[in-house]
Amino acid sequence: MSVRVLRRGTWNAVGVVLFVVMVFPVFWMISTAFKPEDQINGVNPTWFPGHPTLQHFRDAIAKPFFWTDVKNSVIVVLATVGIAMALAFLAAVALAKYRFTGRKLFIVIVIGVQMIPGVGLIIPLYVLLARYHQVNVLSGVVIVYVCATLPFCVWTLRGFIIGIPKDLEEAAMVDGSTRLGAFARILLPLVAPGLVATSVFAFITSWNEYIYARVLLNDGAKQTLTVWLSYFLGTSRNTDWGALMAASTLTAIPVVIFFLLVQRKIAFGLTAGAVRG
Amino acid sequence: MGVAAETVSGWSRRRPLTWRRVGAASVPYLLVAPVVAVLGAILGYPIYSLVRLSFEKYGLFELIRHAGVDIGLANYRSVLHDTVFWHTLLRTVVFTVANVGLTIVLGTLLALLLVRVSGWVRLLLTAGLVLVWSMPQVVAVQVWYWMTNVQNGVVNYVLSELHLGNFFQHNWYATPFSQLAMVTTLIVWGALPFVAITLYAALSQVPRELVEAAEMDGARGWRVFKDVTLPIITPVLLILTSLSILWDFGVFTQPYLLIGQAHVNPSNYLMAIYLFEQGWFASDFGRGAAISLLMLVIVAALSVVYVRRMVRIGDEPA
């Protein structure tokens, strides 16, 4: 066996070990969610659920406000994605296709505001939203989420629109279409994958968001799923680990599915500039 | 506003201004107007009011009355004379350095490993990383909490079985240091996929011939990395580092939930939690605003490098 093969084998072994270590928490969450009580609380852990049960999932969704808060999360996410995408798309077209005075300032703002840590604006936003009776209502959270996702959406969509060859658009214009016609017939279908990927990003961000939902929504019936999950343990000393892991799995599922669908595209959007520069 | 701006620019001065041209020139402004309006109302105005609040006494009473009482610099004096603030700042800086350092170093090692393994291992590892990447923070916190709990946390079991010491009913949250160390493991675990995958993409742009040429010249491992690979991935590394610094400096969800609301206190505060507890939770909005502003100034200073670089990329001719 040559040194080269041996070395490759060693790296592969290290890679597999690291895979196991990295993925273990996710595995442990799912495994616990399906395990009967005695296997969860045993002194020696059971790695794979012996007699898988759905009881923990039943317990989790039977907890107060689960379905209400799922509904709240869905409403918040759909409203956020719809509004943010519509606004961001227009601005992204302006950035990608036009030169105008103030363009650079606009870019600085779009990138700069992404650097503001969310927690830094909690106090003025809380005071502002309280003044307009937007505390403890879903619309208040939607307003914050739209604003939080807009800059990234503008930036990412701009990348997708720039990627479209200019001659395609020009060819359509020569054919006698107006700029708007060229835009609708040529640009829109080409940019659709980018729109989907960016929407999913906005979806994930607003589904996962914790601190503003925690601060702005204080009623159990008004909260989002993330906040519901964070309160799951309550104050009892005997933690129902199985139900907690089942609830965690349920919260993660939509995000994981959507993320896996678009990860490549978003990773591209995030770093295309960086690698190119 | 838009029209006025266009008329000063070079080409409009030479040709007569017609309604049609004014209309065309205003298109980009109309397109960005909604975003500007939203950002102005939900970001611009709050930043302005943050500054105002920081000079006011503003508690629950003032919240209901919709008006604060001007107290000058009292909030700033109170914060800057608070030893908790300085301890928290120092703790947050150390915490950020540790988290960013670990994230970047381990991320780089993972990326280098991805280059060296066989195809199927690379696929497996990448898939695992993407799965981890997709985990919501609040979910990850609950899983960590379960894995590290005193009674039957699996981490204690595994460490004992590996004979790394006696971890039977070991409490991972006994001291502020160990609490924050657990938060670090959670944050680094969550941040590694983004860093490793991004760096792997950058590494795959390093020309093979360059590495081979260096190896022919007798350069080995570390030298090849330092002299050939590193210069090429430096721009990406720089961006990842500055992003990580910003994220870790302002981190809230993981420490707040993993340590637990009942257990966060001045001995384990990070900046964001200090601000949340003493500003929002205590309903002392004026003082909280002062803390926020001090924090935002630090963040702004930290982000200059990143923003400048990204703006240069974004301003390339469309």
Whole-angstrom distance, CA of residue B223 vs CA of residue B230: 10
Q: Who contacts B161 (Cβ-Cβ below 8 Å, separation ≥6)? A: none
Numbered ranges of CATH 1.10.3720.10 in chain A: 65-276
> Nearest chain B Cα to A133, which residue?
B64
Contacts of B198 in chain A (CB under 8 A): 267, 270-271, 274
CA neighbor of B145 nearest in space, from B256, B259, B253: B259
Whether residues B98 and B227 share a domain: the answer is yes
Higher-confidence residue of B205 and A106: namely: A106
Q: Note the pLDDT tens digit of each residue in B38-68.
A: 999 999 999 999 999 999 999 999 888 888 8
Instruction: With CB atoms and an 8 Å threshold, state whether A210 touches B253.
Output: yes
Residue B254 included in any domain: yes
CA neighbor of B171 nearest in space, from B152, B189, B184, B158: B152
Strand partners for B69: B57
Q: Which of A26, A90, A263 has its CB closest to that of B31? A: A90
> Nearest chain A Cα to B301, which residue?
A115
Residue B159 included in any domain: yes
Whether residues B197 and B111 share a domain: the answer is yes
Residue B253 included in any domain: yes
Q: Answer whether residue A103 shows pLDDT above 50.
A: yes
Whether residues B292 and B198 share a domain: the answer is yes
List the CATH number of the domain containing B122: 1.10.3720.10
* Residue B122 binned pLDDT confidence (cut-offs 50, 70, 90): very high
Average pLDDT, chain B: 87
* Residue A150 binned pLDDT confidence (cut-offs 50, 70, 90): very high
Whether residues B44 and B176 share a domain: the answer is no
What letter represents residue A128's amino acid? L
Q: Which of A147, A251, A256 has its CB closest to that of B43? A: A147
Whole-angstrom distance, CA of residue A24 vs CA of residue B155: 11
Whether residues B49 and B171 share a domain: the answer is no
pLDDT, residue A165, reads: 75
Range of the domain at B99: 74-314
Residue B61 included in any domain: no
Q: Answer whether residue A277 shows pLDDT above 60.
A: no
Q: Per mean pLDDT, which of A101-115, B22-36, B122-136 is the most reliable?
A: B122-136
Whether residues B89 and B214 share a domain: the answer is yes
Residue B86 included in any domain: yes
Q: Answer whether residue B7 shows pLDDT above 70.
A: no
CA distance A52 to chain B (A): 19
Q: Answer whether residue B6 shows pLDDT above 70.
A: no
Place of tokens 């695992």: B128
What average pLDDT does this structure show over B182-187? 97
pLDDT, residue B305, reads: 73
Residue B276 included in any domain: yes
What's the domain count of chain B? 2
Whole-angstrom distance, CA of residue A221 vs CA of residue A162: 44
Q: Which of A29, A108, A251 has its CB closest to that of B311? A: A108
Residue B80 included in any domain: yes
Query: Which of B138, B147, B203, B246 to mutate to probe the A interface, most A CBs <10 Å?
Result: B138
Residue B207 included in any domain: yes
Instruction: With CB atoms and an 8 Å threshold, state whether A117 touches B299.
Output: yes
pLDDT, residue A111, reads: 84
Sign of CA dihedral A2, B226, B310, A167: negative
* Residue B318 binned pLDDT confidence (cut-offs 50, 70, 90): very low
Residue B223 corresponds to which tokens in the numbers above? 């030298």
Whether residues B209 and B306 share a domain: the answer is yes
Strand partners for B57: B69
pLDDT, residue A274, reads: 36
Contacts of B133 in chain A (CB under 8 A): 259, 263
Whether residues B49 and B91 share a domain: the answer is no
Whether residues B153 and B287 share a domain: the answer is yes
- Alpha helices by DSSP H, listed for chain A, are 3-34, 37-40, 55-62, 66-97, 103-113, 122-131, 138-162, 166-174, 179-182, 188-208, 211-216, 225-230, 241-276
Least confident of A162-171, B21-30, B242-251: A162-171
Architecture of domain A65-276: Orthogonal Bundle (1.10)
Q: Who contacts A84 (Cβ-Cβ below 8 Å, separation ≥6)? A: A145, A146, A149, A150, A153, A202
